[in-house]
């Protein structure tokens, strides 16, 4: 069964060329939620995640909430094995599919069909597996003969259709989402929403970060509230959302 466990995980980002007393540093302090420290040679370090402990179990659908700079996207990238922790341990049991930037890895000079093969292999499928899915993916995109043309000739909406169809063509054990994907094409949105719900229902664990609290309420059974890289609350959704809303209420 899939599971995720983080123990005392911290993420530090050094920022070079900024004095701790500079105007830039003061602006960064205001505009981000990270905690700033100054080490040797006056190098500014942003602590994006601070000694975070987290356990996500089989069947959990966890929503990440918090202000911009709270650490949500950083934590998603830790769970996706993009950012290694500066300290602490991350233990993940299960195959991960991370839909953080669905355009990542697209080759503009390759055809749509070639990109289906390339992206499928990048997602962990072998050639036979992605070849078997190729026509189903092609049909879902509704791009027809355009799939034989270079992706650089596509509109933005067409590129998103192709990337989304490829990214959701496999059923992961652990699904990681940064916001619910918008395909950019109004006629395609309903079809895409149905597809993503199917992927979510099939995954053993789902983790999603969103500013839309309605999405968190609809999709999740747990909520993680992050503030300056630390956990303010982790537990049931109604309690977590109420605490978060009350903290943002105007006095």
Pairwise CA distance, residues 206 & 196, whole Å: 11
44 shares its domain with 131:
no
Write down the residue that tokens 């991960």 correspond to.
Answer: 96
Q: Are residues 183 and 124 in the same domain?
A: yes
Clarify whether residues 85 and 114 are in a common domain.
no
User: Other C-beta atoms within 10 Å of 113: how many?
Assistant: 17
Domain identity same for 158 and 124: yes
Instruction: Indicate whether 127 and 196 sit together in one domain.
Output: yes
Does 103 share its domain with 199? yes
Q: Which two tokens stand for residue 37?
A: 């420290």
Residues 75 and 111 grouped into a single domain: no
Considering the domain architecture, whether residues 114 and 163 belong to the same structural domain is answered as: yes
- Joined together, the tokens standing for residue 224 give 């993680």
Residue 250: its pLDDT value, please?
46
At 21, the pLDDT band (50, 70, 90 cuts) reads low
CA distance 140 to 21: 54
Q: Are residues 187 and 231 in the same domain?
A: no
In eight-state DSSP terms, residue 120 is H
Whether 78 and 109 share a structural domain: no
In-domain check, residue 131: yes
Confidence of residue 31 (pLDDT cuts 50, 70, 90): very low
CATH assignment of the domain containing 111: 3.40.50.300
What per-residue confidence (pLDDT) applies to 251?
A: 43
Residue 70 included in any domain:
yes
Cβ burial of 155 (10 Å; 0-12, 13-18, 19+) is: exposed
Task: Kindly state whether residues 148 and 196 are assigned to the same domain.
Answer: yes
190's tokens: 């309903």
Whether residue 33 lies inside any domain: the answer is yes
Q: What pLDDT is stored for residue 156 in this prediction? A: 85
Q: Is residue 211 part of a domain?
A: no
Q: Per the domain annotation, does 146 fall within a domain?
A: yes
% of the chain beyond a pLDDT of 90? 54
- Residues found in the chain: 251
* pLDDT tens digits, 186-234: 777 788 888 888 888 999 999 999 888 998 998 899 999 999 999 999 9
87 bridge partner residues: 10
Banded model confidence at residue 168, pLDDT cuts 50, 70, 90: confident
Which structural domain range is residue 72 located in? Answer: 3-93+220-243
Q: For residue 111, is it within any domain?
A: yes
Identify which of 15-24, 44-53, 98-107 has the greatest average pLDDT.
44-53
Tell me the C-alpha distance between 249 and 72, whole Å. Answer: 21
Does residue 102 register a pLDDT over 50?
Answer: yes
Tell me whether residue 55 is in a domain.
yes
Q: In Å, what is the CA distance from 98 to each residue of 22, 69, 71?
A: 37, 20, 17
What's the distance, CA 72 to chain centroid?
Answer: 9
Burial 16-42 (b: 16+ CB within 10 A, else e): eebeeeeeeeeebeeebbbbbeeeeee
pLDDT tens-place string over residues 106-161: 899 999 999 999 988 887 788 899 999 999 999 999 999 999 999 999 998 899 88
Number of domains observed in the structure of the chain:
2
Q: At what angle do helices 112-122 and 156-167 cross, to 10 degrees?
A: 40
Model pTM?
0.80
> Is 105 in the same domain as 194?
yes
Structure tokens at 150: 């270079």
Distance CA 55, CA 221 (A): 14
Is there a domain that residue 53 lies in?
A: yes
Q: Would you put residue 157 in left (φ > 0), alpha (ψ -120 to 50) or beta?
A: alpha
């Amino acid at each position: 069964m899939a599971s995720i466990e983080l123990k005392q995980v911290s993420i530090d980002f050094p920022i070079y060329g900024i004095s701790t007393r500079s105007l830039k540093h003061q602006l960064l302090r205001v505009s981000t939620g990270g905690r700033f420290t100054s080490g040797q040679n006056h190098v500014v370090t942003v602590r994006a995640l601070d000694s975070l402990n987290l356990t996500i179990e089989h069947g959990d659908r966890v929503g990440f909430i918090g202000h911009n700079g709270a650490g949500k996207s950083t934590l998603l990238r830790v769970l996706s094995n993009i950012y290694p922790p500066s300290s602490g341990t991350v233990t993940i049991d299960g195959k991960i599919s991370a839909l953080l930037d669905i355009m990542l890895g697209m080759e503009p000079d390759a055809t749509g069909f070639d990109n289906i093969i390339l992206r499928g292999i990048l997602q962990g499928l072998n050639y036979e597996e992605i070849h078997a899915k190729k026509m189903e993916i092609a049909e879902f995109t509704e791009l027809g003969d355009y799939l034989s043309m270079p992706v650089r000739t596509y509109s933005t909406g067409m590129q998103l259709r192709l990337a989304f169809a490829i990214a959701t063509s496999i059923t992961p054990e652990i699904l990681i989402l940064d916001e619910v994907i918008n395909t950019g094409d109004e006629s395609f949105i309903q079809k895409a929403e149905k597809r993503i719900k199917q992927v979510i229902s099939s995954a053993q664990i789902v983790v999603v970060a969103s500013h839309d609290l309605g999405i968190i309420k609809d999709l999740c059974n747990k909520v993680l509230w992050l503030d300056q890289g630390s956990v303010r609350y982790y537990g049931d959704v109604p309690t977590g959302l109420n605490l978060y809303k009350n903290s943002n209420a105007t006095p």
